[in-house]
Amino acid sequence: MGTPFNAVLTTAEMSAVFNDNAIAHAMLRFEEALAHAQAAEGMIPLEAANAIASCCRAELYDFSAIIVESRTAGSLAIPLIKALTRMVRENNEPAAGFVHWGSTSQDVIDTALVLATRDALVLIERDLDKLIASLLELAERHAATPVLARTLLQPAQVISFGLKITGWAAPLVRSRAQLGQLAARALTLQLGGAVGTLSIMEEHGEKIAQRVARTLELGVPPAPWHTQRDEWIRLGLEVAVLVGSLGKIAIDVALMCQAEVGELAEPTYNGRGGSSAMPHKKNPVSVMIALAAAQRTPHRAAAILTAMAQQHERGLGNWQAECAEWPELFSSAHGALSALAHAMPGLQINAARMRANIDAQSGLVFSEAATILLASHIGRDRAHALLEELARDVIAIDRPLEAAMQAHLATDTALQKAVDAEQLHRCFDVDGAAEHSAKLARARIAQLRAALHREPSCREK
Amino acid sequence: MGTPFNAVLTTAEMSAVFNDNAIAHAMLRFEEALAHAQAAEGMIPLEAANAIASCCRAELYDFSAIIVESRTAGSLAIPLIKALTRMVRENNEPAAGFVHWGSTSQDVIDTALVLATRDALVLIERDLDKLIASLLELAERHAATPVLARTLLQPAQVISFGLKITGWAAPLVRSRAQLGQLAARALTLQLGGAVGTLSIMEEHGEKIAQRVARTLELGVPPAPWHTQRDEWIRLGLEVAVLVGSLGKIAIDVALMCQAEVGELAEPTYNGRGGSSAMPHKKNPVSVMIALAAAQRTPHRAAAILTAMAQQHERGLGNWQAECAEWPELFSSAHGALSALAHAMPGLQINAARMRANIDAQSGLVFSEAATILLASHIGRDRAHALLEELARDVIAIDRPLEAAMQAHLATDTALQKAVDAEQLHRCFDVDGAAEHSAKLARARIAQLRAALHREPSCREK
Amino acid sequence: MGTPFNAVLTTAEMSAVFNDNAIAHAMLRFEEALAHAQAAEGMIPLEAANAIASCCRAELYDFSAIIVESRTAGSLAIPLIKALTRMVRENNEPAAGFVHWGSTSQDVIDTALVLATRDALVLIERDLDKLIASLLELAERHAATPVLARTLLQPAQVISFGLKITGWAAPLVRSRAQLGQLAARALTLQLGGAVGTLSIMEEHGEKIAQRVARTLELGVPPAPWHTQRDEWIRLGLEVAVLVGSLGKIAIDVALMCQAEVGELAEPTYNGRGGSSAMPHKKNPVSVMIALAAAQRTPHRAAAILTAMAQQHERGLGNWQAECAEWPELFSSAHGALSALAHAMPGLQINAARMRANIDAQSGLVFSEAATILLASHIGRDRAHALLEELARDVIAIDRPLEAAMQAHLATDTALQKAVDAEQLHRCFDVDGAAEHSAKLARARIAQLRAALHREPSCREK
Amino acid sequence: MGTPFNAVLTTAEMSAVFNDNAIAHAMLRFEEALAHAQAAEGMIPLEAANAIASCCRAELYDFSAIIVESRTAGSLAIPLIKALTRMVRENNEPAAGFVHWGSTSQDVIDTALVLATRDALVLIERDLDKLIASLLELAERHAATPVLARTLLQPAQVISFGLKITGWAAPLVRSRAQLGQLAARALTLQLGGAVGTLSIMEEHGEKIAQRVARTLELGVPPAPWHTQRDEWIRLGLEVAVLVGSLGKIAIDVALMCQAEVGELAEPTYNGRGGSSAMPHKKNPVSVMIALAAAQRTPHRAAAILTAMAQQHERGLGNWQAECAEWPELFSSAHGALSALAHAMPGLQINAARMRANIDAQSGLVFSEAATILLASHIGRDRAHALLEELARDVIAIDRPLEAAMQAHLATDTALQKAVDAEQLHRCFDVDGAAEHSAKLARARIAQLRAALHREPSCREK
């Protein structure tokens, strides 16, 4: 339903792809292409096709009245085709008989949804490309910037912020490729006539389908897919996967934007992220939009999956439910994508705070490294036990773990034979720890760039 | 998102309850009530309150521009309050400083949603009352009309159609009562200020909340519910339960409308349920809308439940997701409810076909009754085995079960001592079987009418 | 499916409520009660009832073999009743004919699920009571402990930790009351026979139902609810609401346990929350379990709602799906509840860190209070603008907001006439800010205790 | 949770893939492979690796005790690795220090889940192959068998049953190919150590990963995928798509099995589809299982999508939720698949009843064909109007549409010039109508067979 609460979470561009006008336009494009194809195959007179085509302009119709009628008819197509037929009849009476010839409601509605979806994917890919580009740039810039890795929301070890960002980018690159491949299979013409056999068009069926598809620049499916919608559903699910990957970025950024963490901040522009009550607030509204999308989208995915059990040759309720759910996938996805694509280039990165948060851990995040160093000399059990004991002291008497270990080493002459202070010191080297990540990050950035290069865009397909 | 696919499945009335204009209006009602309440408590000058109130008219604002800004601000409230403040300032400069005083975005948005929801419930209840009334009338009329009971989509035994309808009506009567009770608890003012404590309003907080609530005719909650939304969620879930009960009616009607069953047909009006390809089609479009709602709504319920884990004193993403999902519950529910309420009074009931479908079962649906009759004489095992054997014959040689049993009885002198042909015949009496159901149906109709009478409507609360 | 991944997230106690053995036991209790009731009403011989009862002991059957057969039969009841009948026949041949007399698979399965659910609710309520008690105690203890309120994951203002905890507890108290009321309506006998009319039992039906219900200590529903399951679904949804409220607690605790926030820590016991790699890790495993539950449960709620559209007099697939989903609601709920009930009493609360996190905000979280103070003298616009300017300095030159404001006041003689330094100072009083919350907290604790006292437990019902 | 209600809806085979024992076994296989790989790279002594390997046998451990501990530890891995270490220490003290060296809980759990999933896919593919084979065989056999096509649950036109079946088979063939491709990408080793960098293994990390992967016959991913699980989620979603396609088959079969339709019946075996109350019942239990799966699975898909927003380097609650949800996808899928694969070869097809159901439509289902025939002569409007009028008569006076039209033709001399009785008669030819479908069916069978041939099985990959 069109509510302001939905509007906040999507974009005007995406709303325009699926609104009344766009769908009316797409439905009429289908009818026009069908008439022309049938004329070209000699099924209907050319003059009739021209007369029909001249009436296939959305601005000629009051689509809001058509929607009112569609509630009674149970289908958008029925009143639209009535209105089109009426209009054609006024212009060219005999042509009226050839409107929508041999086709059915589902043909025009499904194909219109395919056309709108193609437009939606152009927006998705455009902003996906932007987001990927800015992430890879950030990853490069911060390839070696040390940051806490956190597991189960607790500090774990040190990685680099660039490596973390490659983790954000990689699934987006994969989604981009998947969307391209699945779109190529799913963005196909629906043309099956009353029950999917195009029987009325007899031997012309296949050729007409090819002509209509060519005109609309759509693929021709191996068979009409009216109640066998798996390829279409896969495309929708990939949008849901993309939103899941955006949600992962968003939750990480949101957590790093917390004042107590302070490692990131969303860019602040005029009017962005303020509060109606508190002058000091800087709310992370881009990630908010992405998080809302990540919460809502799985339920849309479930809804289109639920709708798959479509009865016989046209579903009762499930097809209609799927059509209504479908645009919401893109609505949320583009809201999230454009919000992140807009925020990422200006993301405020506080590398000093990242390091301070590491330092605040008093060396505890190097405990595994230190354990491993000692383990090869005193066995892992003793090493682990020693580290646990020293770790308690870190908290109890606020002494950094390295200091505690060096003090221990100074008194343990046996250990001194195996480990020297310098070796021990290297275990606690923040930049050293990040350097390993930096190597990984740089290799992955190169891989991702190569993958992007290899994969043509959706739009070129 | 506002798409024609959603529009087909809801009503213009319900769309109007949650559209941009309605929400803007509700938000401004909140601001007006707040200003007046604060003036009454001496927190702000009466003149300021009057100046604010005079600007709280939705038609003064370009809400579509406000929505555009809200995408950057991350909240509808921020740009609306800015616009309101600007408007107040133009009229009465000092009053501008008192707009939205001590309140926060969530207060005005949640309360606006509460106001809209109250309007939505009026529509729901109105059509729920209509639907219940027509179902109870049908149930009375067909209290003794025999119809097949079917289990696992197979013929089982004979009941009455009236009894079946009481099964449809009873959950609706319960939902009506539940909606009333939950609405009384959930339709409460949200007023907590920045973090839910109304601290800025100091000792006036409670009184101001009471005044605002009184003006808006809302309840006062035990505490602001900004991130503790369980009462609100319960109300939403009850709408989902209602839709589930409508879905049950719809699936039964849809199945009984199948040509091969032919027991029911939706009323046909001009333009209702036709086909763009097939002149003979009579599509059950009312149940189609209800089935679509029943498929979509559980996912909305899941979405609002998912959104419950709202962080700290205002959620990041989850609150916003919930607000966007919420109206969809009512959108689907009212689409379904109004479709069924419209169709039921004119439902075409083919009692002859109901009986024919029973007869086509050749008495098999009375096999349990016959088993029981015999079992008391020859033991259930033998009775069951005998019936299974005779049942095979029914299908194999197309002989009615009663005939087969009477033939068996005629040759089984032992059995004749215990069972006579007349007793056996009564086991196969269609009307007799329905009569037991009729008694139950009449008792339940009386119970349901009494329950309706007991329970005041939502609207009176 | 029984997997170790599910096992980690629930409790052994709850697993035992719904496992094979428990369900077999409950099904046999139903059959025993039915036989006795029928004997008492003179429908079957007392001796037969006794023979049946003596075989209604779960340990007599190989339930795993029965499950294997149930996959073919499509129902647990069919092979169990066969096995029971066989066993009875061996003991008392004629009694075998009276097993399950006039009943149907759904009667025994639904009633068994009701019995198991009653046991599940006892566990839920027990741990809900524990959790509420420990939360109220914590809330009392920390009624005045200052803590940051955070909105959209950013610092907002100061409240008290006790007030925050009352927000956690209040929905639990409401869920407890709701569960009690809904259980009273939903924990009713299912007894309808083949198609819900008990027609085989003729005039005895109602009395037998009452007797069986009394034996099993269940309510008698207004009508068999085999395909009208709204009261049952409401109970399941309330469990989902409870899990949502637990999720809210868990996310707040998880965020406050972050090392960078450091306000809370889960109690550490032997083996709790460690890491296989990192000796220093203290993972918040209780909230982890609750968060997992909060993520999974909404989908279970959606599943049982989806299953409501049960066809005719017994659903094909949907009833079976609901039965399988149902126990998962309780599995997650009890996992979450028992984890939190176990963790909360030992929750480590770092009040010093709470205050330090407030102090780290350099007074910014008092900006609304300061704005309000100034606004009454210089108008809100000027006050807001001044605060925004000073807030920038706070960050830019790391000067606390109060210092900046006092410096400003010292130079603004006009302002000095309206505001003195002491008044200004009070705006920044951390304890003063918490005191307002403390009053609210204490009032709410009293309300919640009163509500608990008023409401008898589920178990007493 | 392991309940008998789940057990009815899945298979013993699939339960065994994910049960405690299987997961313990898989986890130990990982630890063994890791130790051997590290020995081969010289990171740990060969003797230690051998000692570890000798303890990596599931039968050595009490996994139920480990599960109890895992509830406290928050992870299955921690107590298992403790137990393994204890066991190794008893055998070879120094080797104990090398257990799980440099790895982390998530490595072993994710990899175990991958190994189990590979086994699950073998079962899925085996039964998918069976089901496809039997569908294609049925499609061939019934390529020209006329059957009603039905849209919105109403009779539409005539197609062939074989064509309908190709519609069922085609998505299964696509799912088979997709599963193969996605499995190749998703069934990869998880090995990242504490935070995904394998930093402890230094320069050996990559080689060790390759060795472990080779031993376990898994792929090596481009990067550890601990919190970037898109490839894994895609695989899970494809299982959900497969279940959706099975649901489509099941709903069609269920509807065609209705007594009033009578076109299909499930094979009846001993104990299959009986009723505990009614001797005559033949319940379609295979489609029941598939329908239950189709209702439940979308919610599992939503759950794993919801879990994608995993925080930082290991999620809190969401990873654990995903692991628990994952096996349920396969549990439902295999229940459905094996039920249908078992039922389809013996499906009882009543071609006579299919024709009778067509005939019962009195020619109405040929109204589009007749309209088209007339339209080219008298214009579509007049043709449509005439057909609508005659269609009313069909129902009103029970006269077949062809008879009505021939009667009309006999009186309309103008029309006789354009249309002769023979042409008109051909419009109503049932077999002629099916023949068009037969051609399509045969072409699609050939395409599907070719696709199957092209695509190697999952198992070969």
Per-residue pLDDT averaged across C427-439, rounded? 94
**Is the Cβ–Cβ distance between A201 and A100 less than 8 Å?**
no
- Distances, alpha carbon A32 to alpha carbons A49, A210, A215, in Å: 7, 14, 10
For D205, phi and psi rounded to 5 degrees?
Answer: -45, -55
For C158, phi and psi rounded to 5 degrees?
Answer: -105, 130
Structure token digits, residue D7 = 């057990």
Which candidate in D141, D275, D380, D459 is catalytic? D275
**B201 DSSP assignment:** G
Check whether D458 has a pLDDT greater than 80: no
Check whether C271 has a pLDDT greater than 70: no
pLDDT at res. A389: 86
**Is the Cβ–Cβ distance between D111 and D30 less than 8 Å?**
yes
Q: What CATH number has the domain bearing residue A292?
A: 1.20.200.10
Domain count, chain A: 3
Which candidate in A211, A296, A314, A444 is catalytic? A314
Which candidate in A141, A275, A376, A459 is catalytic? A275
Q: Which residues of D touch C9 (CB under 8 A)?
A: 320-321, 324
Q: Which chains touch C (3 or more CB pairs under 8 A)?
A: A, B, D
pLDDT at res. A390: 87
Give the least confident one: A20-29, A101-110, D257-266, D394-403: D394-403
Per-residue pLDDT averaged across B277-285, rounded? 77
pLDDT at res. C106: 96
Catalytic residue at A275? yes
Give the least confident one: A307-321, B36-50, B442-456: B442-456
Model confidence band, residue D461 (pLDDT cutoffs 50, 70, 90): very low
Give the least confident one: B271-275, B436-440, C262-266, C428-432: B271-275
If residue A151 lies in a helix (H) or strand (E), which one and from where to where?
strand A146-151
Q: What torsion, rounded to 10 degrees, do the Cα atoms B438, B440, B442, B446 define?
A: -170
Per-residue pLDDT averaged across D417-424, rounded? 90
Range list of β-strands (E), D152-255: 154-160
Per-residue pLDDT averaged across D8-14, rounded? 96
pLDDT tens string C342-376: 999 999 999 999 999 999 999 999 998 888 888 87
Check whether C81 has a pLDDT greater than 50: yes
**Is the Cβ–Cβ distance between B71 and A5 less than 8 Å?**
no
Q: Flag if A447 and D222 touch (Cβ within 8 Å).
A: yes
pLDDT at res. A461: 45
**A364 DSSP assignment:** G
pLDDT at res. B358: 97
pLDDT at res. D391: 84
Q: Is the dihedral of CA C74, C76, C78, C83 positive or negative?
A: positive
Q: Which residues of B227-242 are buried (b: 16+ CB within 10 A; e: fewer)?
A: bbbbbbbbbbbbbbbb
> In the predicted model, what is the mean pLDDT of chain C?
93
Q: Flag if A171 and D230 touch (Cβ within 8 Å).
A: yes
Alpha helices, H only, D75-160: 77-91, 105-141
3 state DSSP class of D43: coil
pLDDT tens string B217-268: 999 999 999 999 999 999 999 999 999 999 999 999 999 999 999 999 998 7
Co-location of C136 and C283 in the same domain: yes
pLDDT at res. A458: 55
Neighbours of C154 (CB within 10 A): 24
CA–CA separation, B67 and A18 (whole Å)? 18
In a domain, B233, yes or no: yes
Q: Flag if B152 and D258 touch (Cβ within 8 Å).
A: no
Can you give the pTM of this predicted structure?
0.97
pLDDT at res. D383: 87
Q: Which residues of C touch A278 (CB under 8 A)?
A: 156-157, 365, 367-368
CA–CA separation, C427 and C425 (whole Å)? 5
> In the predicted model, what is the mean pLDDT of chain A?
93
CA–CA separation, B393 and B389 (whole Å)? 7
Q: Which residues of A touch D333 (CB under 8 A)?
A: none
CA–CA separation, C320 and C317 (whole Å)? 5
Which of B318, B317, B340, B336 minimizes the C-alpha distance to B328? Answer: B336
Query: Strands C348-349 and C154-160, how do they pair?
Result: unpaired
Residues 6+ apart with CB under 8 A from A173: A132, A448, A451, A452, A455
Q: Flag if C280 and A157 touch (Cβ within 8 Å).
A: no
**Is the Cβ–Cβ distance between D221 and A167 less than 8 Å?**
no
Co-location of C114 and C197 in the same domain: no
**B150 DSSP assignment:** E
- Distances, alpha carbon A230 to alpha carbons A410, C224, D174, D243, D378, in Å: 68, 39, 8, 10, 41
> In the predicted model, what is the mean pLDDT of chain B?
93
pLDDT at res. C355: 98
pLDDT at res. C278: 66
pLDDT at res. C58: 93
- Mutation pick from A197, A198, A229, A316 vs chain D, by most beta carbons of D within 10 Å, is A197
Q: Flag if D303 and C284 touch (Cβ within 8 Å).
A: no
**Top-confidence residue, C453 or D257:** D257
In a domain, C359, yes or no: no
Check whether D121 has a pLDDT greater than 90: yes
In a domain, B91, yes or no: yes
Q: Which residues of A touch B274 (CB under 8 A)?
A: 73, 78
Co-location of A175 and A262 in the same domain: yes
Strand partners, D265: D348
Chain B residue nearest residue D387, CA to CA = B279
* DSSP code per residue over B281-330: ----HHHHHHHHHHHHHHHHHHHHHHTT---TTB-SSHHHHHHHHHHHHH
Structure token digits, residue D376 = 């080219």
Co-location of D446 and D302 in the same domain: yes
Check whether D376 has a pLDDT greater than 80: no
Per-residue pLDDT averaged across A390-413, rounded? 88
pLDDT at res. B385: 84
Which of A184, A6, A8, A30 minimizes the C-alpha distance to A104? Answer: A30
pLDDT tens string A319-349: 999 999 999 999 999 999 999 999 999 999 9
In a domain, C143, yes or no: yes
Co-location of C308 and C342 in the same domain: yes
Which of C448, C434, C365, C452 minimizes the C-alpha distance to C163? Answer: C434
Co-location of A268 and A306 in the same domain: yes
Q: Flag if B300 and A299 touch (Cβ within 8 Å).
A: yes
Q: What CATH number has the domain bearing residue A401?
A: 1.10.40
Give the side-chain half-sphere CA count within 13 A for C209.
26
**A332 DSSP assignment:** H
Chain B residue nearest residue C238, CA to CA = B234
Q: What CATH number has the domain bearing residue D99?
A: 1.10.275.10
Which of A423, D152, A327 minimizes the C-alpha distance to B286? Answer: D152
Q: Which residues of C touch A360 (CB under 8 A)?
A: 259-260
Q: Which of D244, D312, D314 lies closest to A255 in CB terms?
A: D312
Check whether B270 has a pLDDT greater than 60: no
Q: What torsion, rounded to 10 degrees, do the Cα atoms D127, D131, D134, D136 define?
A: -130
pLDDT tens string B130-145: 999 999 999 999 999 9
Q: Flag if C157 and A278 touch (Cβ within 8 Å).
A: yes
Check whether A7 has a pLDDT greater than 90: yes
Give the side-chain half-sphere CA count within 13 A for C360.
17
- Would residue C211 be called left, alpha or beta, if left means φ above 0 and alpha means ψ between -120 and 50 degrees? alpha
Q: Calculate what percentage of chain B has a pLDDT beyond 70.
A: 96
Q: Which chains touch D (3 or more CB pairs under 8 A)?
A: A, B, C
Q: Which residues of D touch C105 (CB under 8 A)?
A: 275-277
Q: Flag if B288 and D388 touch (Cβ within 8 Å).
A: no
Check whether D274 has a pLDDT greater than 80: no
**Is the Cβ–Cβ distance between D305 and A244 less than 8 Å?**
yes
Per-residue pLDDT averaged across A187-193, rounded? 96
Check whether C457 has a pLDDT greater than 90: no
Residues 6+ apart with CB under 8 A from B181: none
Per-residue pLDDT averaged across A82-94, rounded? 95
**Is the Cβ–Cβ distance between C183 and C461 less than 8 Å?**
yes
Give the least confident one: A11-20, A395-404, D82-91: A395-404
CA–CA separation, C419 and C417 (whole Å)? 6
Co-location of A50 and A179 in the same domain: no
Co-location of C312 and C420 in the same domain: no
Strand partners, A149: A157
Domain that holds residue C390: 364-427
Chain A residue nearest residue C393, CA to CA = A280
CA–CA separation, B305 and D159 (whole Å)? 45
Check whether D277 has a pLDDT greater than 80: no
pLDDT at res. C461: 45
Q: Calculate what percentage of chain C has a pLDDT beyond 90.
A: 81
pLDDT at res. B461: 45
pLDDT tens string A131-161: 999 999 999 999 999 999 999 999 999 999 9
Co-location of A92 and A212 in the same domain: yes
Q: Which residues of D touch C77 (CB under 8 A)?
A: 276
pLDDT at res. B311: 97
Chain D residue nearest residue B353, CA to CA = D260
- Mutation pick from B71, B84, B86 vs chain A, by most beta carbons of A within 10 Å, is B71
Q: How far is A397 from chain D (nearest CA, A)?
A: 27
Co-location of D166 and D41 in the same domain: no
Q: Flag if A4 and B23 touch (Cβ within 8 Å).
A: yes
Q: How far is A258 from chain C (nearest CA, A)?
A: 6
pLDDT at res. A279: 64
Co-location of D182 and D196 in the same domain: no
pLDDT at res. C209: 96
Per-residue pLDDT averaged across D12-36, rounded? 97
Q: How far is C356 from chain B (nearest CA, A)?
A: 18
Q: Which of D152, D278, D282 lies closest to B368 in CB terms?
A: D278
Size of interface A-B (CB pairs under 8 A): 268
CA–CA separation, D28 and D111 (whole Å)? 10
Residues 6+ apart with CB under 8 A from B245: B168, B171, B172, B175, C228, C230, C308
Which candidate in D29, D211, D314, D444 is catalytic? D314
Co-location of C156 and C246 in the same domain: yes
In a domain, D359, yes or no: no
Q: How far is B368 from chain C (nearest CA, A)?
A: 8
Q: Flag if B368 and D277 touch (Cβ within 8 Å).
A: yes
pLDDT tens string C225-267: 999 999 999 999 999 999 999 999 999 999 999 999 999 999 8
**Top-confidence residue, A210 or C383:** A210
Per-residue pLDDT averaged across B428-437, rounded? 94
